[in-house]
């Protein structure tokens, strides 16, 4: 994991005692709950709301060439539109034998955005002749914080593992049924939600962001 900084100014100088509010750039209730739980465990007094409170904010095109660029695009757009600090993440699966792809194209690898089965089937076909020792991969996530002032931070998390030859498990989403984390025999689709959260790339990126939120917003 690493942190990068940029921009100018800050969000300090808060004189009231109410918790700072920040927008997580998603309408996915699971992500909101996960970040709230991580901040509570880290005793970070920041109130997280989702985009359901801002129906006027539309989807932000993910035109960046890296996970960090896409996360920052979303975070800055939402910070400008809401007037609040904004957090966004971007993630995907990076397969060693495919030179790190599908990467930022993970959700639309088959050509249709969000078609999990088509994406998974295509990827399995592409690595069907790759022998076991070379089926390494990792899930990667970049989490970005953008302040209305333009200041920004990015943290990153990763989860190493291998790609198996046939899907297993009914939990999770995306490529979870074909990914076995290092040190595990189960796929991420076979892990309980709490087990997955504890080791996931997104959980690691969000946990790395927690002390930054405490510093800038707490």
| Structural domains present in the chain | 3-10+17-217 (3.90.950.10)
Q: Which residues are annotated as a binding site for substrate?
A: 26-31, 91, 173-176, 196, 201-202
Q: What is the mean pLDDT of residues 112-136?
A: 95
ω before 101 within 30° of 0 (cis)? no
Residue 218 clears pLDDT 70, i.e. is over it: yes
The whole-number pLDDT of residue 16 equals 54
The whole-number pLDDT of residue 7 equals 42
Q: Is 129 a catalytic residue?
A: no
Residue 116's beta-bridge partner residues? Answer: none
Q: What is the mean pLDDT of residues 65-94?
A: 97
- Which residue among 59, 90, 129, 197 is the active-site one? 90
Question: What is each CA distance from 114 to 105, 111, 169, 173, 194, in whole angstroms?
Answer: 10, 9, 19, 10, 24
- The separation between the first and the last C-alpha atoms of the chain, rounded to the nearest angstrom, is 22
Residue 82 clears pLDDT 70, i.e. is over it: yes
Measured distance CA(187)–CA(182) in Å, rounded: 10
The whole-number pLDDT of residue 93 equals 98
The whole-number pLDDT of residue 145 equals 98
The whole-number pLDDT of residue 105 equals 96
The whole-number pLDDT of residue 14 equals 47
Least confident among 136-140, 162-166, 195-199: 195-199
- b/e sequence 90-124, b meaning 16+ C-beta within 10 Å: bbbbbbbbbeebbbbebbebbeeeeeeeebbeebb
Supply the mean pLDDT for the chain: 91
Model pTM?
0.88
Residue 49 clears pLDDT 80, i.e. is over it: yes
Q: Which residues are annotated as a binding site for Mg(2+)?
A: 90
Higher pLDDT, 210 or 112: 210
Q: What is the mean pLDDT of residues 130-159?
A: 97
Residue 211 clears pLDDT 50, i.e. is over it: yes
Q: What is the mean pLDDT of residues 85-104?
A: 97
Q: Which residues are annotated as a binding site?
A: 26-31, 90-91, 173-176, 196, 201-202
The whole-number pLDDT of residue 19 equals 84
pLDDT tens by residue, 9-38: 445 444 456 789 999 999 888 889 889 989
């Amino acid at each position: 994991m690493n942190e990068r900084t940029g921009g100018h100014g800050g969000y300090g100088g808060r004189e009231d005692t109410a918790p700072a509010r920040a927008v997580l750039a998603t309408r996915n209730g699971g992500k909101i709950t996960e970040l709230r739980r991580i901040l509570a465990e880290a005793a970070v007094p920041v109130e997280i709301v989702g985009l359901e409170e801002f129906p006027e904010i539309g989807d932000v095109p993910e035109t960046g060439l890296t996970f960090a660029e896409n996360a920052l695009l979303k975070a800055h757009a939402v910070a400008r539109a809401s007037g609040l600090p904004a957090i966004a993440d971007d993630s995907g699966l990076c397969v060693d034998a495919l030179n790190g792809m599908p990467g930022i194209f993970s959700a639309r690898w088959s050509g249709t955005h969000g078609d999990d089965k088509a994406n998974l089937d295509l990827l399995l076909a592409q690595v069907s002749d790759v022998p076991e020792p070379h089926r390494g991969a990792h899930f990667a996530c970049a989490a970005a914080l953008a302040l209305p002032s333009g200041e920004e931070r990015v943290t990153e998390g990763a989860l190493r593992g291998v790609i198996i030859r046939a899907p297993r498990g009914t939990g999770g989403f995306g490529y979870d049924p074909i990914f076995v984390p290092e040190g595990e025999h189960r796929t991420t689709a076979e892990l309980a939600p709490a087990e997955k959260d504890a080791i996931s790339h997104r959980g690691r990126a969000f946990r790395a962001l927690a002390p930054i939120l405490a510093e800038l917003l707490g």
